[in-house]
Amino acid sequence: MSSQTHQSTDPRHIGIIMDGNGRWAKKRGYSRPKGHQEGAKTTRKIIDACRELGVRYLTLYAFSAENWSRPDMEVKALMELLEFFLGRETKALIKNRVRLHAIGRIEELPEQARKALNKAMEATAHFDEWHLTLALNYGSRQEMLDAAKGFAKSVACGETDAEQAGWDDLARHFYTKELPDPDLIIRTSGETRISNFLLMQSAYAEFYFTDVLWPDFDKVELEKAIACYHRRERRYGKTGEQIARPTTVSPLQPSA
């Protein structure tokens, strides 16, 4: 993660909180795992849609550090679905030249899911055009804690000077160190909270909330989110006038 700003009119990096699988299933009298299966179908379609729309980085919140508190049966179903999804999708990722990344405490995932994930990441590690990141057993506070520990170690061994250190010296210990900051964060299902997702990285992201449940989300809904993003003015602390007409000479410094 870098502290650099990105001012292009197209979102380079979209993060999605894929929410609403359980409610989608409940409305139809299905079990919650059936909702997650339908959600996985949407995930596949949105990965393709992002490529078609030129979005180079897509980060999907698939399992939070807090989701372990769900019923054992649901957690088990989600982990099996992850393994199944990776087994099926790796070929498509390779064909489409998509590099897979993972953020979160991956080492705590069940062995089978972890193996499938590592296999898919290795098989796509040489690609650089499209980047798909799965947030698994992810939580921003856990990430911050792990980064603080990494930073403390690098100070202790003399690699980093704590007094001189800047933001980038801390950010290189985040799970997201290889990714640009997200430009747009989408959350489906009508909830308007961030639920421990990319807190630090979304400092200047635009947010888009929709009532559509994740299994019903599609390319048309994604295009609506991107159209809404295009209408936003990203000011990064400046005034609207500065953004509309950037000047190189500060009015406080008389030109010669």
Instruction: Please give the residue ranges that form the binding site for ligand IPE (CB under 6 A).
Output: 17-23, 61-64, 67, 78, 189, 191, 193, 195
Residue 113 in contact with residue 82, Cβ under 8 Å?
Answer: yes
User: Could you tell me where the DSSP H helices lie in 130-239?
Assistant: 140-156, 167-171, 219-230
The answer to whether the CB of 197 falls within 8 A of the CB of 140 is yes
From the list Mg ion, ligand IPE, none, pick the one residue 206 interacts with, judged by a Cβ distance below 5 to 8 Å according to partner type.
none
User: Is 96 assigned a catalytic role?
Assistant: no
Q: Which does 77 bind (CB under 5 to 8 A by kind): Mg ion, ligand IPE, none?
A: none
* Residue 67: active-site member: yes
CB contact at 8 A, 135 and 101: no
Residue nearest to Mg ion (CB): 19
Cα 213 versus chain centre, distance? 18
Q: What's the min distance (Å) between Cβ of 182 and ligand IPE?
A: 15
For Mg ion, the closer of residues 134 and 170 by Cβ is: 134
Catalytic residue among 67, 96, 169, 216: 67
d(CA 139, CA 118): 20
Q: Considering only residues 1-30, where is the footprint of Mg ion by CB under 5 A?
A: 19
Helices 72-95 and 111-124, packing angle to 10 deg: 20
Q: Give the binding site for Mg ion (CB under 5 A).
A: 19
Q: Which residues are catalytic?
A: 19, 67
